[in-house]
Amino acid sequence: MNNTPPESYRSGPDENGHFGIFGGRFVAETLMPLVLEVEKAYYRYRDDPEFRNELEYYARDYVGRPSPMFLAERLGAELGGAKIYFKRDELNHTGAHKINNTLGQILLAKRMGKKRIIAETGAGQHGVATATVCALFDLPCVVYMGETDIERQAPNVFRMKLLGAEIVPVTSGTATLKDAMNDALRDWVANVEDTFYIIGTAAGPHPYPEMVRDFQSVIGIETKAQILERENRLPDVITACIGGGSNAIGLFHPFLDDESVRIIGVEAAGHGLESGEHAASLSGGQPGVLHGNRTYLLQNEDGQILDAHSISAGLDYPGIGPEHSWLHQCGRVEYVSITDTEALDAFQLCCRTEGIIPALEPSHALAHVAKIAPAMDRDQIIVMNLCGRGDKDVFTVAKALGVEI
């Protein structure tokens, strides 16, 4: 492999869904015709004016886009150094960025004539966002969720039920997000005629990583316009947390060819990379193949997939979207990691200084902001995607802080 940078970092994937050596379509033959059908439909509709109009209409009047960009002045004063902006995707309907994607995918599913929606969920945010659009468009919704996650995310389970979704507890394997995705794929194989699988992150077989990225890119497109309007220049640093990496790729993608912008993805280091209990696929994993794509994975020396660990259920996945693996390999994006403890500190800092209870996921990104901002100049700018609100996490945080509620 040569080291010349590509002409553009925004031209992937190629026609086979590859980002460099990552991505692809590693699925069972039964699913291949479906995956090809989704690809064909997505390429047909993504630039269709009627599709775009409908997506923009619901994004504006239902989700509440564009989400604001907020100058976190008290946080900035406390940390010293750079100016910090929050891209406030936690203000979206359902409280996270996930709905940007579920809305796009369900509009596609409807055009494809699909009658039933399935999804996987870990923390429940993608499950809630899927159940929400299924209620809105009157389609039955089945959500696969690991039994372990059902126990620790009871409020989201009830939310999904209120929205009319059927929750299927997953007991196979280790009963977490990766197993929920396995079972959703098994459902899809058995219901090929009428079912559309709404994958929640920028991973899975082609065209999902590309499609999810495109639907989430609204975050980066808005950010660029907003920062140019406010500051009349591009930010020095943009950053976001990464589990599968959909909010991050959504923020990053429109900035990839802006050389002056330093881009940082923040993985979950759990109890620390050296502890072996983490969810940092890039920092602590190796390339492999799972859930339809080649990407960095947590795995043992026999190629068996390992369990991820993070205090944040939304980052608790042993893989990462393939485009991130590629951006890591070509060095365009820096990937760092933040521990549970550091994220908890940042969570509290945000509550205290800005009056915003962030989700534990973006608390990881915030913890990294807290590390780098003080060393930066006062006229430098950081934009962080605040991709979810933390109401869902108050029980987890209380427990971690030793508080009974």
Partner 1 sequence: MSSDNRLTRRFEKIRSENRAALITFLTAGDPNPDTAEKILAGMPKAGADVIELGMPFSDPMADGPAIQAANLRALGAGMTLKKTLATVERFRKTDDDTPVILMGYYNPIHYYGVQAFIDKAIEVGVDGLIIVDLPPEEDVEMCHPCLTAGLHWIRLTTPTSDDSRLKVILKNSSGFVYHVAIAGITGTRSADSKLVMQDVARIKRHTDLPVAVGFGIKSADQVNETAKFTEAVVVGSALVQRIADGSDASKPAEEICNDVHQLVAQLAAGTKRN
Binding partner 1 (rule: CB under 8 A), the pick from 5, 11, 14, 30 is: 30
Q: Is 186 in the site for partner 1 (CB under 8 A)?
A: yes
Residues 173, 272, 277, 380: which binds partner 1 (CB under 8 A)? 173
Burial class (CB in 10 A: 0-12, 13-18, 19+), 2: exposed
Block residue for tokens 């886009």: 65
Residue 292 in contact with partner 1, rule: CB under 8 A? yes
Q: Are 386 and 251 in contact (CB under 8 A)?
A: no
Nearest to 315 by CA among 290, 343, 293: 343
Phi (first) and psi of residue 49, to 5 degrees:
-55, -40
Q: Binding to partner 1 by residue 47, rule CB under 8 A?
A: no
DSSP structure string for 182-199? HHHHHHHHH-TTTEEE--
Does the footprint of partner 1 cover residue 29 (CB under 8 A)? yes
At its nearest, how many Å lie between partner 1 and the CB of residue 165?
22
Amino acid letter, residue 164: G
CB of residue 66 to partner 1, shortest distance in Å: 38
List the one residue from 89, 90, 120, 179 that touches partner 1 (CB under 8 A).
179
13, 22, 34, 63: which one binds partner 1 (CB under 8 A): 34
Tell whether residue 290 is a contact of partner 1 (CB under 8 A): yes
In the complex, minimum distance from the CB of residue 115 to partner 1, in angstroms, rounded to a whole number? 16
In whole angstroms, the minimum distance from the beta carbon of 190 to partner 1 comes to 4
Measure Cα distances from 36 to 14, 29, 119, 269, 340 in Å: 14, 11, 19, 36, 39
Binding residue for partner 1, selected from 109, 305, 308, 370, defined by CB under 8 A? 305
- Closer Cβ to partner 1, 226 or 295, answer by number: 295
Whether the Cβ atoms of residue 318 and residue 307 lie closer than 8 Å to each other: yes
Q: Cβ of residue 21: shortest distance to partner 1, in angstroms?
A: 10
- Judged by beta carbon, residue 30 or residue 275, the one nearer partner 1 is 30
* Member of 192, 375, 401, 403 binding partner 1 (CB under 8 A): 192
Residue 28 or 398: which CB sits closer to partner 1?
28
Q: Does 297 bind partner 1 (CB under 8 A)?
A: yes
d(CA 293, CA 18): 9
Q: CA angle 125-128-133, nearest 5°?
A: 130
Q: How far is the CB of 285 from partner 1 (least distance, A)?
A: 11
Report if residue 182 touches partner 1, rule: CB under 8 A.
yes
Query: Smallest distance, Å, CB 32 to partner 1?
Result: 5
Residue among 198 and 305 whose Cβ is closer to partner 1: 305
**Which segment (145-153, 248-256, 285-293, 329-337) binds partner 1 by CB under 8 A?**
285-293
Please work out, in degrees rounded to the nearest 5, the angle formed at the alpha carbon of residue 29 by the alpha carbons of 27 and 35: 60
Beta strands at 18-19 and 22-26: parallel, antiparallel or unpaired? antiparallel
Residues in binding contact with partner 1, number by CB under 8 A:
39
Neighbour-count burial of 174, counting CB atoms closer than 10 A to its CB (0-12 exposed, 13-18 middle, 19+ buried): middle
> CB-wise, 47 or 302, nearer to partner 1?
302
Rounded to 10°, the helix 32-45/98-111 angle is 100
d(CA 119, CA 99): 13
Q: Which residues bind partner 1 (CB under 8 A)?
A: 16, 24-34, 172-173, 178-179, 182, 185-186, 189-193, 286-292, 294, 297, 299, 301-305
